[in-house]
Structure 1
Amino acid sequence: MFTTATLSGSKPEQYDQLADQARGLLHGERDRIANAANLASLVFHSLPALNWVGFYFWDGRELVVGPFQGMPACVRIALDKGVCGTAASTRRTQRVADVDAFPGHIPCDSASRSELVVPLYRGDTLIGVFDLDSPELDRFDEDDQRGLENIAAIFLESLP
């Protein structure tokens, strides 16, 4: 049985601990949905001030909601729409301090105030995005971005 440990220390140290937990949780499992579900739950319950953590997967035409923790979400997102679509189309993590100031933001949960979205690519192939929302303005900083990009890489490593 997998058990989470309380994170402690500096923010980078906490992300190192979370990465170790993620590796342990995903070890030996190759199913994308199972790993996305468990990883979304781990992150949602480990980090403070989050109201949505989850995945959108590319189906060849658009991003489609996958496993997540939080309120019901937008089901489909075009590549050129919102923070998720922007992350996927630019291949760059989007760290948005105030979602209301982001042109084209798609408000799935009105409580969300800031967002961080990591694009998921294997080589040139788009897999989807790893999306985190917070009810706090400017919730995500550079340490969060680095730590969550590492968590996303651990997810990608688990795929066959």
Structure 2
Amino acid sequence: MPNSSADEFLQQAGPRLAALVGELERCASPVEVAWALCEFSGPALGLADCVVYLLDGDGRTLTQQAAWGPKRAASRVLESRIRLRLGQGIVGHCAQQRLPQRTADARRDGRYVLDDQFNLSELAVPICIGDALFGVLDSEHPEPGFYGLAHEHALYAIAERGAMRLRALAGTADTAPG
């Protein structure tokens, strides 16, 4: 994808990520962090949608906590929430493996879980630091092959900043979930 919003973001990553960190520092809860990540990522990267799943207290399931795009019914209100087990769907695999998962055509990926509407491309990036998993930053797009390496790098950098704030909110890395 030539000169995408993700490429432009990466060219100016330093100051843009610093602005995100400033916004995250004002977040007083994990759910506020989730909303801040979505509200930053969607416009900054020109995404069709963006959803944050946070790891539940049981350490085995992820629940949608925030969204940017069609799933968002109103200001910081989700239309509906999906809950996935670790290993379930592209998001669950991302969380289980703690590695980004990018699919160019969901019709050919048996892990795809339908949410509010069918999309062809999906990119899921773990929100983690080391072995401490906090959740997944996920985006879907109606065009096949939409996400490139620049999108993956940009979302990963954004998710990493979110993980740092979530770790701080948890108290220490030792008390982090996952």
* TM-score, normalised with respect to structure 1: 0.83
Structure 1 CA distance for aligned equivalents of residues 14 and 121 of structure 2: 23
Match of 1:113 among 94, 113, 120: 120
Q: In the TM superposition, what are the counterparts of 1:97-136 in structure 2 within 5 Å?
A: 97-136=104-143
Equivalent pair of 1:19/1:151 in contact (CA under 8 Å): yes
Alignment of 1:138 with 2:145, yes or no, is yes
1:14 Cα shift? 4.4
Equivalent pair of 1:16/1:147 in contact (CA under 8 Å): no
Alignment of 1:152 with 2:159, yes or no, is yes
Which stretch has the larger CA shift, 16-25 or 52-61?
16-25
Q: In the TM superposition, what are the counterparts of 1:86-101 in structure 2 within 5 Å?
A: 86-101=93-108
Equivalent pair of 2:65/2:81 in contact (CA under 8 Å): no
Amino acid aligned to 1:41: E
Structure 2 unaligned blocks of 5 or more: 72-78, 169-178
1:45 Cα shift? 2.1
1:76 Cα shift? 0.7
Equivalent pair of 2:7/2:151 in contact (CA under 8 Å): no
Structure 2 CA distance for aligned equivalents of residues 136 and 8 of structure 1: 16
SS of corresponding position for 1:95 = strand
Structure 1 unaligned blocks of 5 or more: 1-6
Match of 1:58 in 2: 55
1:113 Cα shift? 1.5
Aligned CA RMSD, in angstroms, stands at 2.3
Match of 2:32 in 1: 34
Structure 2 CA distance for aligned equivalents of residues 92 and 8 of structure 1: 19
1:52 Cα shift? 2.0
Structure 1 CA distance for aligned equivalents of residues 137 and 165 of structure 2: 14
Equivalent pair of 2:61/2:85 in contact (CA under 8 Å): yes
* TM-score, normalised with respect to structure 2: 0.75
Equivalent pair of 2:54/2:64 in contact (CA under 8 Å): yes
SS of corresponding position for 1:116 = strand
Question: How many residue pairs end up in the alignment?
Answer: 153
Amino acid aligned to 1:98: D
> How much identity, in percent, do the aligned residues show?
26
